[in-house]
Amino acid sequence: MLRKFLVTGASGQIGQELIPYMLARYGADQVVVSDIKKVIYKLKDQPKFIRLDVAKSKHFRAVVEEEKPTHILHLAALLSARAEESVELALKVNVDGLHNALEIAKDLKTAVYVPSSIAAFGPDSPRNPTPEDCIAKPTTVYGVSKVYTELLGSYYHKKFGVDFRSLRYPGAISVTRPTGGTTDYAVEIFYELLVHGTYTSYLSLNTRLPMMYMDDLLRGTCEFIEADSNKLTRRVYNLAALSFTPAELTEEIKKHLPNAVTTVAPGGPDIRQGYADSWPMVLDDSLARKDWGWKHNFDMPKLVQTMLANVKETLLPKKAPVPKKASVPKVKKEKVAKN
């Protein structure tokens, strides 16, 4: 099957990593990216870009009608911490934008993939492990919007036959620095320990959260999108790989940076600690592994070794070009006259 994708919210942490991966997997002509601001990728040839506000339904629909994608990858969303600071904007993007995507998918017969999150769970949910189906009463507007995503998308699938799919992502770890998320520490810690040797955590050092290296997350997303619909027993799946604490991550990093130190800010953890304490510690993703063959490749040692190498490369200044060796003109030897 030849797939063509329209990706919304392409400037975020997931989008910055997913787009190059998709271009390599599906071809440059099969991926169109969109966002409210221009997106530049570390690629020789940039994909087609369309400026798009997903909350503006008419323009959103016009873009889909023009591009004729088989799939809408709806990544546009405000993350947990930023959403709490701008609740009205979060509802506009996360809720109105989702509704627009589903309506367009219904009318124009496209599939739609929308990531969910561990933030969809709440303090009343079982935390270790967290099953696919359980009480979900999130304490953040981001989490509320993700529960809405899961329920409304599943409704559109049942009511209108929309091929809606969603994965509950754990914290994503990559070289790209995220903004506004509660699990961001697992990226920032590598930069801080490599540059300064110390990292000040905004979470308690024993806070356990599900995490995943970005390469696994990208591959898992595409494998799920490509999976035979007849093999899926549900529309929303947990996706898991690792679970660790800031202290455990630091200990693994210390195998490479023996003097690395992680502490908590003098004033203690910030507001994100409350979010983390209401989220899963370990995700049960057994159905994803059973239904469509999901499995992760990066364990803790491999993740840390890879991140350290990639972050080092990112931090290194670009080497100045080596100047060409000055050419020395050849001097013709004069013939010495013989007496």
Question: Residues with catalytic annotation?
Answer: 142
DSSP 110: -
Residues 288 and 228: their CA atoms lie apart, in Å, by 13
Specify whether the CB–CB gap between 270 and 202 falls below 8 A.
yes
The backbone region for 197, taken as left when phi is positive above 0, alpha when psi lies in -120 to 50, beta otherwise, is left
Q: Tell me how far apart the 2 most distant CA atoms of the chain are, in Å.
A: 111
Q: How many CB atoms sit inside 10 A of residue 280's CB?
A: 27
3-state helix, strand, coil in the chain (%, to 5): 40, 15, 45
The radius of gyration of the chain from alpha carbons, rounded to an integer in Å, stands at 24
Specify whether the CB–CB gap between 195 and 315 falls below 8 A.
yes
In the chain the first and final C-alpha atoms are separated, in Å, by: 90
Structure tokens at 78: 């405000």
Residues 228 and 208: their CA atoms lie apart, in Å, by 34
Residues 131 and 34: their CA atoms lie apart, in Å, by 34
